[in-house]
A and B are shown apart, each in its own frame.
Chain A
Amino acid sequence: MQPVISIQQLSKTYASGHPALKTINLDIHKGEIFALLGPNGAGKTTLISIICGIVNPGGGKVLVDGHDIISDYRAARSKIGLVPQELFNEGFESVLATVKFTRGLFGKAPDSAYLEQLLRDLSLWDKRDARIFELSGGMKRRVMIAKALSHQPQILFLDEPTAGVDVELRRDMWNMVRGLRERGVTIILTTHYIEEAEEMADRIGVISRGEIILVEDKQALMHKLGKKQLTLQLQQPLASIPEQLNHYTLELVDDGHALVYTFDTQREHTGIAELLKDLAQRGIDFKDLQSSQSSLEEIFVSLVHGR
């Protein structure tokens, strides 16, 4: 299947000499939700800005639905909607006027019915005549989304879409993103909220210091790198872990009141049964046990810091 976005050997060094992107190769599939994770300064926004035409690429090539972003920029850009990280807006403009402006800018004929539906879907219709500076931060964020969707793009970039928004709006946005995906829109989001990627993404890409260090199906990533932990609440606290148990990955926490066993979900035998047997033989009783799986956040941190 031809990717909807194909990034080949893309690099960027700013005039200051800062190498924002090293050699990036990445394919985004049509209709997927792709989450790009990375710490601050990793190159997420630079990557998006190059694809959208805001920043000049240093070297390499980007194709959007088969169209080169430089030589065939009109076709490429007309397919893209962008919700930037910052709440950029023309404060004195009305909501409807600014959304109409963006639609026109992207070469689309006026369509009042579509824009009305869009603003209604984003709970902005009642505010259509309000000037943007009068709106709350959350409403301004909705305006940014309305502008990005005003020209019915096939690809939507959401750069930190839920930064600083309340829980209700975050949930609304997640629902909106899912609705867009059902209509065939490809969504690329960058986020600091790992739970967002975990909740929504089909695939995850991790970028660090200008390099894509991993691209993986989310479930496969969780499966491959996810560690499980078994926590045993002990009847009697232990001063130290007995030497005979050294071949298990154990950690004593909570002042010796709990024993944490970390195991790999990939392994055929988790070793739990053996551990429990060994503990029983040594008279170490426990009153409770619970297991937990590492979150995407932990995976992400270990990936980035493990380099």
Chain B
Amino acid sequence: MNLYAIRSIYLFELARTWRTLLQSIATPVISTSLYFVVFGSAIGASMTQVHGVSYGAFIVPGLMMLALLTESISNASFGIYMPKYSGTIYEVLSAPVSYLEILIGYVGAAATKSIILGLIILFTAQFFVDFEILHPFWMGAFLVLTAVTFSLFGFIIGVWADGWEKLQIVPALIVTPLTFLGGSFYSISMLPEFWQTVTLFNPVVYLISAFRWSFYGVSDVNVLVSVGMILGFLVLCIATVGWIFKTGYRLKS
């Protein structure tokens, strides 16, 4: 295994985060803080508890997941799209590195960045609301699993995109709406029955539900079902990436 190559890609990608610290870290933290202020403090003050948890605390896992999903996709898609756009992908393709090593480098860096961001948001949330983490191990496991899965998804988008517009279209038109409608700010049991059924087709519901369970022991959907859904999506992403590498889709002609 070419460990130097993995290290190079990983550190090179992380270096971009430090170069663009304001964009990478400060912006999501500020926007999440605003969510806490608006939803947690302003609206939450007039709301009753949800599943026995105060509204402010209830939205913490959802907000973390919101940031985790969007940042994982954005980091990974940008990470692989940028060298394609600038042309520097030539040296990755011509280097003695396997596709797995390329993947570990890019996806590992993207997941690392979004996990760090998730933890910063968790830390920031302490200043706004009181909350607890009932199952810290599972919280960490879901955090890592989600970050890796959606970084893989982002990697696929980055390979697929052949323009800046396409790079934005999936996160903006699909992921963000699904996340907002996936129970970040509410329990799906608060919806009319018809919409509860519709919501179950939204994969993000399972992520948020499981993540919230790790905090407070309450969930909209059975945790095992959620774990199955996350693992299923992970396998789907791995299979797609495997196909991309096998065919050289949009990487090699």
Interface residue ranges, A against B (CB under 8 Å): 14-15, 52-56, 73-78, 80, 82, 84, 86, 88-93, 97, 100-109, 147
Contact = CB atoms under 8 A, between A and B. Distances in A.
Given A54-B93, A86-B87, A107 B252 contact: no
Nearest to A77: B96
Contacts, number: 83
B91 A56 contact: no
Contacts of A107: 2, 4-5, 95-97
B46 interface: no
Given A55-B252, A89-B88, A90-B88, A108 B4 contact: yes
A82 B253 CA distance: 18
Contact of B94 (A52, A92, A93, A104): A52
Interface string B1-30: 010110111001001100100000000000
A88 B90 contact: yes
Given A15-B253, A56-B253, 4 more contacts: A77-B95, A107-B95, A108-B4, A147-B91
B248 interface: yes
Interface string B232-253: 0000000000000000100011
Interface string B79-105: 000110011101111111110000000
Contacts of B7: 104
A212 B98 CA distance: 31
Query: Looking at B19, B87, B248, B253, which has the most chain A CB atoms within 10 Å of its CB?
Result: B253
A93 B91 CA distance: 15
Given A54-B252, A55-B252, A104 B93 contact: no
A54 B94 contact: yes
Contacts of A97: 12, 15
Interface of B: 2, 4-5, 7-9, 12, 15-16, 19, 82-83, 86-88, 90-98, 248, 252-253
Contacts of A82: 90-91, 94
A237 to B, nearest CB: 57
B96 A88 contact: no
Query: Looking at B16, B91, B252, B253, which has the most chain A CB atoms within 10 Å of its CB?
Result: B91
A90 B83 CA distance: 8
A94 to B, nearest CB: 10
Contact of B252 (A56, A90, A108): A56
Contacts of A109: 4
B38 to A, nearest CB: 34
A54 B90 CA distance: 6
Query: Looking at B4, B5, B93, B248, which has the most chain A CB atoms within 10 Å of its CB?
Result: B4
Contacts of B2: 74, 107
Nearest to A157: B94
Nearest to A72: B96
A82 B89 CA distance: 13
B253 A105 contact: no
Given A14-B253, A56-B252, A106-B96, A90 B4 contact: no
Contacts of A74: 2, 96-98
Contact of B97 (A15, A103, A105): A105
17 contacts: A54-B94, A54-B252, A55-B252, A55-B253, A73-B96, A74-B96, A74-B98, A82-B90, A82-B94, A88-B88, A88-B90, A104-B5, A104-B8, A105-B91, A106-B4, A106-B95, A107-B95
Given A56-B252, A92-B19, A80 B94 contact: yes
B17 to A, nearest CB: 12
A48 B96 CA distance: 16
Contact of A90 (B8, B86, B248): B86
A76 B95 CA distance: 10
Contacts of A78: 96
B5 A106 contact: yes
Nearest to A87: B87
Nearest to B6: A104
Instruction: Please give me the 8 A-B residue pairs with the lowest Cβ-Cβ distance, nearest first.
Output: A104-B8, A88-B87, A74-B96, A52-B94, A77-B96, A105-B95, A78-B96, A107-B2
A97 B96 CA distance: 19
Contacts of A147: 91
Contacts of A105: 4-5, 8-9, 91-92, 95, 97
A106 B97 CA distance: 7
Given A90-B88, A91-B86, A104-B4, A77 B248 contact: no
Query: Looking at B9, B12, B96, which has the most chain A CB atoms within 10 Å of its CB?
Result: B96
A84 B98 CA distance: 21
